[in-house]
Amino acid sequence: MALSLGASKAGKAPALQGIAHRLEAQRARACPAGAEPPVHPAAIPPSAPRDTHHLDAITLHIATCADLKEALPSVLRELLDMLNGCLDSGAAHFATGELCVVHRALGLATHEVISPIGLALPVATRERLQEVVRDIGRDPGARQQVSDMDGTPGGVLIALTDDTDRGETGRGETSDDWLWLGEPTAAVIESGLANVVINTLSRGLALHQQQQARHAEDTKSAVAQALKNERRHLAAELHDTLAQELSYLQMQSARLTRAARHAPQDVQALAEDVHTQARRAFRQTRELINGAHATWGDAPLACVLDNLIEEFETRSGMVFELDNRIQSLHLPDAQALQVMFIVREAMTNSVRHAQATHLRLQLLYQSSGHPPAARVLLTVEDNGCGFDPADIAPAHFGLGIMQDRAHQIGADFAITQPRQGGTRMTLSWERRDT
């Protein structure tokens, strides 16, 4: 099998437009290695004149189809018939040729073989083509290198569209397409007609790739917006129903606690417990309502912290400072929401209980170097009176909620007292920014 490497992102046909290498690995039984000299790009003649309107129509059909598995077989049949006509007009007689497209759809890890209508490729041929393309994908430089490929099937394999780094998931950010010309169809690789066929497929698939990527992005944005709208709708329902009831229950339970001061001890404990739970339920409901309205878009975490500072500056005389040492850190919405709740609780405690005049937020990586450290450290520190977490009564449940939220996102949470006084809250987590 001959392999043509080096596709470009523009979807150009590398085999016929400045290709750097072409491998020749003939079938061992049919033709010994070296029997046919390699084809150089300079020897490839220009495209033969064709019906450009018809070819543009084929390109448009590929680019706009919803499912390549349904659209490509008929297109490939037409293109194969064109190549077979070229073969029949040659000096020698050729058998009916073969071709197919080895395609990996957007976001998938495996390739599938799409063949023309009426051409049933053997299972062994399909599996071999998938194996060859998969092996090329494991080597980032394979498209630009000469690699030995022996065995069957014979023919020529040409990269039609570019491939990108698949990342940790093994799934490509773009599709990946190859054209296989089986023997004897590969004999026309030097013809202008082959240039036309390859360019038609390459342009159509490149445009289809762009359309699919755009559609996927639009769908993602639409789903995200629908989720935000639903969250806001639920927040409004919570505010108008449950939050109002819990607010009333909180006030009444406070009255019950005062009324039970002279009651037996067990009655006092019961009244205090009811009031504590009512406060907890009301507070969590308010946080759910606030979180449902929180949106970040593409804003980094530093912008979220800036917004919190602006929020507290309007209702407190304290001086707030943000020391941001990370240029851009984007978190998934769910994680950013929990971080915001934790920081807001820490800032609320400083404003209400610490008697502080200054509060400092610091965001940095835990160690320097290249590449950056694997963990992020967020610190909230004030210059207030400080406290010992062990002395906090169970009824004050804010610290427990902060610890639970940190646990949900896999973060380490700690409250300490600096030597100079005040209170320091630290939150650190593994770097998984988007």
Give me the pLDDT at residue 260, please: 92
What are the structure tokens assigned to 358, written together? 């200054």
Is the confidence at residue 30, as pLDDT, over 60?
no
Give me the pLDDT at residue 378, please: 95
Is the confidence at residue 216, as pLDDT, over 60?
yes
Residue-wise pLDDT tens digits, 178-193: 888 887 776 777 777 8
Cα distances (angstroms) measured from residue 382 to each of 16, 202, 314, 365, 417: 67, 61, 18, 21, 10
Give me the pLDDT at residue 43, please: 33
Is the confidence at residue 167, as pLDDT, over 70?
no
Is the confidence at residue 386, as pLDDT, over 90?
no
Across the range 294-320, mean pLDDT stands at: 82
Q: Could you tell me what percentage of the chain is helix, strand and coil, using 3-state DSSP and rounding each to the nearest 5? A: 45, 15, 40
Give me the pLDDT at residue 6, please: 37
| Phi, psi dihedral angles at 99 (to 5 degrees) | -155, 160
Q: Which amino acid is at 372?
A: P
Is the confidence at residue 218, as pLDDT, over 60?
yes
**Which band of pLDDT confidence, cut at 50, 70 and 90, is reported for residue 387?**
confident
Please say whether the beta carbons of 301 and 331 come within 8 A: yes
Give me the pLDDT at residue 204, please: 92
Residue-wise pLDDT tens digits, 128-148: 888 888 888 766 555 443 333
Give me the pLDDT at residue 303, please: 87
Please say whether the beta carbons of 275 and 257 come within 8 A: yes
- CA separation for the pair 214, 231 (Å, rounded): 26
- Higher-confidence position of 35 and 80: 80
Residue-wise pLDDT tens digits, 74-104: 999 988 888 877 554 443 333 457 889 999 8
Is the confidence at residue 35, as pLDDT, over 50?
no
Is the confidence at residue 294, as pLDDT, over 80?
no
- CA separation for the pair 101, 76 (Å, rounded): 8
Give me the pLDDT at residue 406, please: 94
Residue-wise pLDDT tens digits, 269-282: 999 999 988 988 88
Question: At 167, is the secondary structure helix, strand, or coil?
Answer: coil
Average pLDDT of every residue of the chain: 76
Is the confidence at residue 1, as pLDDT, over 60?
no
Q: In 139-219, which ranges are E strands? A: 156-159, 176-182
Give me the pLDDT at residue 361, please: 96
Across the range 358-369, mean pLDDT stands at: 84
